[in-house]
Structure formats: structure tokens, C-alpha cells
């Protein structure tokens, strides 16, 4: 039995045709799901009873279960229980431009980045499409306000769940779905080169962020195992192809690790590899966890790094910090229920 929140509009059209019904029922059902926000099939009044009975037989409206909510200033962290009793976390961030949700795409993660709490647990499985969509829907319902921006930067490597990710994008972007603008949606990858190249042909203008974190192979491989499969030169070549096809600026994420990747030399080397590329660098103050030994770069050193990039005409920002007090910040989310 498939959850209805996992169907794109096109997939629903195919489904209704497959059961001998009419294609236009797909738009009607999308309206019930995403505009009227029904919780039961009995609320649907414009699809005939016989078709609804087949729909109830084949599909479900089962929600996720919110197990816990923690709050810290402009952040709310949600712990979700999935139908198989696995757990993932998502984070709501309140901005002056709207409300943004950072969702998870997998239970666990196989990328093994040494600085990341989320990756301490190996991948258990991909999240289904409906499990990603429902993170947003249930946060909207609980929070009581519209979600205007979505980032896929929670637990998991999104491009390791590629097909489900694309369907998710189609649902949340569709005007009859959640109607979130493509330019308000961002996906982050640690550098799976074949998927970066595929994503260049995806028709929606979703923002792409690359988790870079080091300016050379030796350093990057020391804490990001993915670099051994897809070295930095291959990642950068893929990014250049992506830029040529899409003409969209790419973000490079760079976590500032004390005495690891925060030196003047690292900043200068980063400038050299990014020269001439339509991009900006998002410097991320590291969020320390009790299980990982990396330490946070000082604010003074982050500003020195920032200044070097600025002087070399590299667009750069320093990420605003959210949720560190409740382990809701970048790299701190978990996919296993612990004491809350």
C-alpha cells in the first residue's frame, strides 16, 4: 500500500487511468491533500464512491508521528517516528524572509564524514517520498504557519536517494502541491559526481550546494571518504558542467575546523580552485558534539579566512547559527531515538 503523499501529480494521473478512472481526479486529489489538508478519505466529496473505495484499498494517508519537539530561540527541532519505528529529525528555522525547514532524506548516512554527527550511524534505508513530504506538512500543521523555504541538508546524502528526491521536488514545487518556489529549495551533496551531472538536466531551478570543506584532495580525503571515490578535480569538473548547462550559481559549504582547514594557506588555495567560477562560499562555524573530537575555529580566525576570500573576489558569507543548544545545528541531527 503506497502513501498518497508519495505521488507526484503525473504519477497520480497514471494511477487514476490505471484503475479505469479519469485523469483530472489527480488535480482534485492534490487539492484535497495540499490545499484542504484532509486527514481521511471520507472528507473527499468530488470523487465518486467507487473510485474512492479503490483508492482506500490501494493507498493510505498515514502521517508520521511527532515524538518530540525542542525549541531554541528561532529554531524548532522535530523528532519523527516512521512506520517501521526508525526515527529522523527535521529543523524549522524562523527567518525575517519566511520559515525554512531542513529535512532529512535517509535514515543514517553512508558518507562517513568525520565531523558529522548524522553520519555516525550507517545508512539504514532511504526515506520514501511521502516521508520527506510529510516532514514539511506536519511541521506546518504543528507550527501553524506556511513553510516558504526548504533545504535538504538533514540526515543522509540526498543524491544517494536520487529518484525519490526528484519526485519530492516535483510535489513540493508544483502549484497544486506545496507551491514552494524552486529558487526557495536547496539540496546539498558531498560530491556524488554522476548525480551532479544528472541534476544539471533536471528542469526545476533548485539551488545546488556542494559540501566542499577542504581545498585539496589530501585534506578532504582525511575526513570525507567520498573524496576517494570522487576526487576534488572530478567534483569541480562536474560543477563547471552544471554551471554551463544551468547558468545557476553554486554554493560551496565550508565547515571551519580548528587547526584543520582554517589556515591562511587553505583560504588562498580555496581561492585558486574557485577562481572564475560562478559561486559563493558559505563558511559554517563548526558545531561541536560530545562524540566527535573536532573543535570550532575561533571567530577571529573565521573572519581572517573570510577576508582572504573577499580580497580575492570570491563571494562569501558566514552562516547564521541556529539551534546549537538543542543539537539542531548543521551536522548535529540524529536518526536514532535517544533520551530527549
Q: Which one of the listed residues 59, 116, 266, 330 is annotated catalytic?
A: 330
Using DSSP bridges, classify how beta strands 75-81 and 87-95 pair: parallel, antiparallel or unpaired. antiparallel
Q: What is the pLDDT of residue 330?
A: 57
Q: What pLDDT is attached to residue 60?
A: 97
User: What does the DSSP assignment read for 65-108?
Assistant: EEEEEEEETTEEEEEEE-TTS-EEEEEEEEETTEEEEEE--EES
> Rounded to whole angstroms, what are the CA distances from 4 to 38, 285, 318?
12, 39, 39
Quick one: CA torsion of 305, 311, 312, 314, rounded to 10 degrees? 70
pTM for the whole thing?
0.93
| Beta-bridge partners for 251 | 209, 280
Distances (CA, A) of 183 to 22, 167, 336: 33, 17, 31
In sequence order, what are the beta bridge partners of 331? none
Please spell the DSSP secondary structure of 11-53, one letter per residue. HHHHHHHHTT--TTHHHHHHIIIIIS--SSGGG--SS-HHHHH
Q: How many CB atoms lie within 10 A of CB 74?
A: 14
DSSP secondary structure letter of residue 155: S
For residue 317, CA distances in Å to 65, 193, 309 come to 36, 25, 10
Helix (H) or strand (E) holding 317: strand 315-318
The full set of domains in the chain, from first to last, is 2-60 (1.10.150.530), 65-326 (3.20.20.70)
- Measured distance CA(99)–CA(205) in Å, rounded: 20
Determine contact, residues 75/93, Cβ cutoff 8 Å: yes
Q: How many CA atoms lie within 13 A of 60 on its CB side?
A: 10
Confidence at residue 7, expressed as pLDDT on a 0 to 100 scale: 98
pLDDT in tens, the chain (340 residues): 899 999 999 999 999 999 999 999 999 999 999 999 999 999 999 999 999 999 999 999 999 999 999 998 889 999 999 999 999 999 999 999 999 999 999 999 999 999 998 878 899 999 999 999 999 999 999 999 999 999 999 999 999 999 999 999 999 999 999 999 999 999 999 999 999 999 999 999 999 999 999 999 999 999 999 999 999 999 999 999 999 999 999 999 999 999 999 999 999 999 999 999 999 999 999 988 777 889 999 999 999 999 999 999 999 999 886 545 545 445 555 655 654 4
Whether 330 is catalytic: yes
Catalytic residue among 13, 59, 89, 102, which? Answer: 89
Long-range (24+ apart) CB contacts under 8 A made by 199-205 are 199/159, 199/242, 200/241, 200/242, 200/245, 200/246, 201/245, 202/166, 202/169, 204/169, 204/170, 204/173, 205/246, 205/248
Give the burial class of 176: count Cβ atoms within 10 A of its Cβ; 0-12 exposed, 13-18 middle, 19 or more buried. middle
Residue 188: phi, psi to the nearest 5?
A: -115, 140
pLDDT of residue 325: 53
Amino acid at each position: 500500500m503506497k502513501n498518497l503523499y508519495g505521488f507526484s501529480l503525473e504519477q497520480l494521473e497514471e494511477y487514476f487511468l490505471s484503475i479505469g478512472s479519469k485523469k483530472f481526479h489527480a488535480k482534485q486529489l492534490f487539492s484535497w491533500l495540499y490545499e484542504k489538508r484532509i486527514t481521511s478519505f471520507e472528507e473527499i466529496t468530488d470523487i465518486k464512491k467507487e473510485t474512492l473505495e479503490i483508492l482506500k484499498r490501494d493507498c493510505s494517508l498515514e502521517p508520521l508521528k511527532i515524538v518530540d519537539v525542542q525549541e531554541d530561540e528561532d529554531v524548532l527541532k522535530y523528532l519523527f517516528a516512521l512506520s517501521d519505528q526508525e526515527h529522523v529529525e527535521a529543523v524549522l528555522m524562523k527567518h525575517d524572509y519566511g520559515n525554512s525547514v531542513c529535512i532529512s532524506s535517509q535514515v543514517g548516512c553512508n558518507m562517513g564524514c568525520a565531523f558529522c554527527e548524522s553520519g555516525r550511524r550507517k545508512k539504514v534505508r532511504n526515506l520514501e517520498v511521502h516521508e520527506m513530504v510529510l516532514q514539511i506538512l506536519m511541521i506546518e500543521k504543528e507550527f501553524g504557519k506556511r513553510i516558504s523555504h526548504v533545504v535538504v541538508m538533514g540526515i543522509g546524502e540526498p543524491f544517494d536517494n536520487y529518484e525519490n528526491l526528484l519526485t519530492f521536488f516535483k510535489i513540493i514545487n508544483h502549484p497544486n502541491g506545496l507551491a514552494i518556489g524552486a529558487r526557495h529549495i536547496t539540496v546539498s551533496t558531498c560530491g556524488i559526481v554522476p548525480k551532479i551531472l544528472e541534476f544539471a538536466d533536471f528542469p526545476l531551478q533548485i539551488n545546488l550546494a556542494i559540501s566542499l570543506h577542504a581545498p585539496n584532495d589530501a585534506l578532504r580525503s582525511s575526513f570525507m571518504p567520498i573524496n576517494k571515490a570522487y576526487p576534488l578535480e572530478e567534483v569541480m569538473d562536474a560543477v563547471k558542467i552544471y554551471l554551463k548547462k544551468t547558468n545557476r550559481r553554486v554554493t560551496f559549504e565550508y565547515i571551519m575546523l580548528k587547526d584543520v582547514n582554517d589556515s591562511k594557506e587553505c583560504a588562498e588555495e580555496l581561492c585558486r580552485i574557485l577562481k572564475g567560477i560562478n559561486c559563493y562560499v558559505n563558511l559554517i562555524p563548526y558545531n561541536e558534539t560530545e562524540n566527535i573530537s573536532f573543535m570550532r575555529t575561533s571567530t577571529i580566525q573565521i573572519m581572517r579566512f573570510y577576508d582572504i576570500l573577499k580580497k580575492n573576489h570570491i563571494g562569501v558569507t558566514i552562516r547564521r547559527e541556529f539551534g546549537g543548544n538543542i543539537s539542531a545545528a548543521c551536522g548535529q541531527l540524529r536518526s536514532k531515538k535517544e533520551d530527549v
